[in-house]
């Protein structure tokens, strides 16, 4: 980090701390710092990201998005619980229950392919949404910040791919034996 | 069990109450909104113009964003830059606004030259015979020329003023003698069409006998002008405040949207923003290119720089009105060519006496260039509006809001068309309908 950037960051953080000690903006930035998705970002970059995020509040059982809908935004959970489920003709399978600090719908940051599962609030939940085109816009204005986010996204997708490969490899010998 | 039923009953009642509340609130909001819009309708146009300018300048503002400079200071710097450019443009433009003497001179010159051209056009052959075409032209153009002459005729007050200026008045040198000659010649210009007498020997009135409506009193006119001017002060304010906006307006409107439509609204707004932005900025660029082509063409034809720029700017701006823009460019260009004097074309071999034809050809070339080069390259597929819709929209716009209505007709059609198409597509994609 260059000296100028460091000084600017320090100034911003101190100013925010002094004037807005308990402001929603500061709370939001502090929350973003704890999210692994944004762990590579500086305070100033986090403020830039925070400025383009939308706060949404969901009631119990309210859908955040549904399977098959075009994805447009990534969601971060500020408070509450979100269930990720897939519905089939007769049954609903719960894939995960996400809590504060978790994020979901991240593939929507890449394109508008349909959502692969439902997301539903299990209790009153507050989220932050990052819209895909806003992130694209950030690419032009704050390229470094946007690159860091895309890098986090890429590394997360890479991790998932590795896990999937491992699962396939674990399953493959058994299948081979079965065929034999 | 009974508790559960009681709870359900309460919930149903609550839902009904909520529905009644929402409906009443929506009806009241609609009535209040309609009343306010009607009462404050004078502010609508300045607000639209201010917002539109902010929208058009947004990419420029984002393009020249300097990260280490506070945002407010950046916006102020951009406004200062725009202000300086506008100031110089206005100053240059003001120099070309004719004063009282020049206006009189212009009227006299225009009337003289126009009549001279008309007489040349309908001149009879040396044998005193007129052919059918000339007779037809006389019949068709005669009444029109009479009307133009009526408009261009100086009233007694203006005549006295012209004679004063002719002798040198208000510290200004006397008017050139040729303009005085024009003035004298104009005095002898008679009517080209003699009104037919009816059976009783009375001259039939050329216009209907309906009494002209009384002009507004000076006080009324002043108040109306003042309120209009104060309303237009809102346009730069809107422009400045939207310039400072960092997405807060969008965020506010999105916060009002129910969760179910959150992603849908973001997508629709974004697509609209993109489509309208491409169309408006494309149109602005197209207008600029048309204006530039006309200006360069007029300069090549030998028309003075100031006049060429003025005609280019007006024609370029009016080019935003399909069909009509080019017609107005033609009228302004040919109108000036009719009265132009001492013109030396920069292109060798051109006869200055045929300036009208050259201007006509120039306008046609510009129109063709606009159709086959500027529009496809600049606008592309930004807006694909059917010509019939364009015509109907322009007529409807002119009926509702006059010239402004004509100017905003096509952007409005583009907004409505894009909004409708995007909205229905997204509603289906999100499985809402």
Contact A72, B267 (CB under 8 A): yes
A165-179, B4-18, B25-39: range with lowest mean pLDDT: A165-179
The Cα A129–Cα A137 span in angstroms is 15
B48 band by pLDDT with thresholds 50, 70 and 90: confident
Rounded to the nearest integer, the mean pLDDT of chain A is 85
Q: How confident is the model at residue A19 (pLDDT cuts 50, 70, 90)?
A: low
Asked if pLDDT for residue A1 goes beyond 60, the answer is no
Look at the alpha carbons of B424, B428, B430, B433 in this order and tell me if their dihedral is positive or negative: positive
Which residue in A157, A36, A56 sits closest to A103, CA to CA? A36
In the sheet that holds A63-65, the strands lie side by side as: A63-65, A118-121, A82-87, A92-98
Top-confidence range, A113-122, B40-49, B122-131, B179-188: A113-122
Give the residue, A158 or B45, on which the prediction is more confident.
A158
Pick among A49, A131, A136 to test the B interface (most B CBs inside 10 A): A131
B163 vs B231, more confident: B163
CA distance B316 to B369: 13
Q: Do B67 and A51 touch (CB under 8 A)?
A: no
Contact between A69 and B429 using a beta-carbon 8 Å cutoff: yes
More confident site: B264 or B142: B264
Q: Sort out which chain A residues have CB atoms less than 8 A from B62's CB and list them.
A: 140-141
What pLDDT, in 10s, does the model give residues B112-158?
Answer: 888 888 888 777 666 656 677 777 777 778 888 888 888 888 888 88
Does A14 score more than 50 pLDDT?
yes
Q: What percent of chain B has pLDDT over 70?
A: 88
Give me the CATH code for the A54-168 domain, please. Answer: 2.60.120.10
The answer on pLDDT for A49 being more than 60 is yes
The complex scores an ipTM of 0.81
The per-residue pLDDT for A180 is 43
Torsion region of A24: left, alpha or beta (phi above 0 gives left; psi -120 to 50 gives alpha): alpha
3-state class of A93 per DSSP?
strand
Residue B211 banded pLDDT, cuts 50, 70, 90? very low
Give the span between the Cα atoms of B20 and B27, in whole angstroms. Answer: 10
B140: which 2 tokens?
Answer: 């068709």
In tens, the pLDDT along B289-311 reads 999 999 999 999 988 888 888 88
CA distances for B106 relative to B114, B233, B264, B303, angstroms: 12, 32, 59, 16
**Minimal CA–CA distance to A130: which of A82, A77, A83, A66?**
A77
Q: Model confidence over A92-103: pLDDT tens digits?
A: 889 999 999 899
pTM of the full structure: 0.70
The model's pLDDT over B367-412, given as tens digits with 9 standing for 90+, comes to 898 888 887 777 665 566 777 888 888 888 888 888 778 878 888 8
Find chain B residues with C-beta within 8 A of A65's C-beta.
Answer: 263
pLDDT at B362: 92
pLDDT band for B348, please (50, 70, 90 cuts).
confident
Which helix (DSSP H) or strand (DSSP E) does residue A146 occupy?
helix A143-179
Q: Which tokens go with B28?
A: 């009241």
Q: Of B56, B251, B425, B74, whose CA–CA distance to A134 is shortest?
A: B251
Q: Do A51 and B260 touch (CB under 8 A)?
A: no
d(CA A149, CA A135) in angstroms, rounded, equals: 9
* pLDDT recorded at residue B212: 43
Tell whether B430 is within 8 A of chain A (Cβ).
yes
How far away is chain A from the Cα of B50, in angstroms, using its nearest Cα? 24
Choose between A10 and B208: higher pLDDT.
Answer: A10
Which residues numbered 209-248 in B keep a CB inside 8 Å of some CB on A? 246-247
Which of B247, B270, B429 lies closest to A70 in CB terms? B429
Residue A71, pLDDT above cutoff 70: yes
- pLDDT for position B127: 61
Q: Do A64 and B267 touch (CB under 8 A)?
A: no
Q: What residue has token string 């100053």?
A: B91
Does the beta-carbon distance from A4 to B62 stay under 8 Å? no
Q: Given pLDDT bands bounded at 50, 70 and 90, which one contains residue B208?
A: very low
Domain map (residue ranges) of chain A: 54-168
Instruction: Look over chain B and give the mean of its residue pLDDT values, rounded to a whole number.
Output: 80
Q: Is residue A1 within 8 Å of residue A45, measured between CB atoms? A: no
The closest of A121, A114, A132 to A84, measured between CA atoms, is A121
- Band (A59; pLDDT cuts 50, 70, 90): very high
Q: What is the pLDDT confidence band of residue B216, given thresholds at 50, 70 and 90?
A: low
Query: Does residue B423 have a pLDDT over 80?
Result: yes
Between these two residues, B311 and B176, which has the higher pLDDT value? B311
In terms of CA atoms, which chain B residue is nearest residue A115? Answer: B430
> Is the minimum CB–CB distance between B11 and chain A shorter than 8 Å?
no
């Amino acid at each position: 980090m260059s000296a100028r950037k460091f000084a600017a960051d320090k100034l911003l953080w101190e100013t925010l701390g002094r004037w807005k000690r308990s402001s929603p903006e500061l709370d939001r930035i502090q929350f973003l710092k704890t999210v692994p998705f944004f762990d590579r970002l500086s305070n100033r970059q986090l403020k830039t990201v925070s400025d383009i995020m939308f706060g949404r509040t969901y009631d119990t059982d309210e859908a955040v998005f549904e399977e098959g809908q075009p994805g447009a935004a990534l969601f971060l959970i500020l408070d509450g619980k979100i269930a990720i489920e897939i519905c089939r003709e007769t049954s609903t399978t719960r894939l995960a229950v996400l809590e504060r600090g978790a994020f979901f719908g991240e593939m929507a940051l890449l394109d508008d392919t349909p959502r692969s599962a439902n997301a539903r609030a299990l209790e009153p939940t507050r989220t932050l949404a990052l819209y895909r085109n806003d992130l694209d816009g950030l690419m032009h204005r704050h390229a470094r910040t946007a690159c860091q986010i895309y890098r986090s996204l890429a590394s997360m997708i890479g991790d998932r791919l590795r896990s999937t490969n491992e699962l396939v490899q674990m399953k493959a010998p058994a299948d081979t034996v079965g065929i034999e | 069990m009974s508790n559960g039923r009681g709870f359900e009953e309460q919930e149903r009642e609550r839902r009904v109450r909520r529905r009644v509340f929402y409906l009443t609130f929506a009806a009241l909001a609609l009535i209040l909104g309609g009343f306010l819009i009607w009462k404050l309708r004078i502010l609508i146009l300045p607000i639209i113009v201010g917002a539109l300018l902010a929208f058009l300048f947004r990419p420029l503002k984002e393009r020249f964003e300097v990260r280490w400079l506070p945002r407010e200071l950046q916006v102020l710097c951009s406004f200062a830059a725009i202000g300086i450019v506008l100031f110089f443009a206005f100053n240059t433009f003001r120099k070309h606004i004719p004063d009282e003497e020049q206006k009189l001179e212009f009227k006299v010159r225009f009337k003289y030259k126009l009549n001279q051209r008309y007489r040349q056009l309908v001149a009879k052959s040396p044998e005193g015979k007129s052919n059918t075409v000339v007779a037809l032209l006389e019949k068709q153009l005669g009444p029109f020329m009479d009307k133009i002459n009526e408009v261009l005729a100086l009233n007694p007050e203006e005549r006295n003023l012209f004679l004063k200026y002719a002798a040198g008045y208000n510290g200004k040198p006397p008017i050139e003698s040729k303009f005085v000659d024009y003035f004298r010649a104009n005095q002898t210009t008679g009517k080209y069409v003699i009104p037919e007498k009816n059976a009783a020997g009375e001259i039939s009135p050329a216009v209907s006998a309906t009494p002209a409506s009384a002009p507004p009193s000076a006080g009324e006119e002043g108040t109306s002008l003042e309120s209009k001017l104060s309303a237009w002060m809102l346009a730069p304010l809107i422009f400045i405040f939207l310039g400072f906006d960092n997405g807060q307006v969008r965020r506010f409107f999105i916060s009002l949207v129910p969760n179910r439509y959150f992603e849908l609204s973001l997508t629709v707004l974004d697509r609209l923003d993109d489509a309208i932005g491409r169309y408006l900025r494309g149109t602005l660029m197209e207008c600029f290119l048309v204006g530039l082509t006309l200006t360069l063409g007029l300069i090549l034809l030998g028309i003075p720089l100031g006049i060429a720029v003025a005609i280019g700017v007006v024609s370029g701006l009016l080019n935003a009105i399909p069909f009509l823009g080019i017609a107005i460019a033609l009228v302004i260009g040919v109108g000036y060519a009719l009265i132009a004097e001492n013109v030396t074309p920069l292109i060798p071999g051109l006869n200055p006496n045929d300036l009208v034809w050259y201007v006509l050809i120039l306008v046609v070339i510009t129109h063709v260039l606009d159709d086959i080069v500027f529009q496809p390259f600049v606008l592309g597929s930004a807006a694909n509006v059917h010509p019939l819709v364009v015509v109907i929209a322009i007529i409807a716009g002119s009926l509702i809001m006059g010239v402004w209505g004509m100017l905003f007709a096509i952007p409005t059609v583009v907004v409505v068309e894009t909004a409708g198409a995007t909205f229905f597509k997204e509603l289906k994609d999100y499985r809402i309908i």
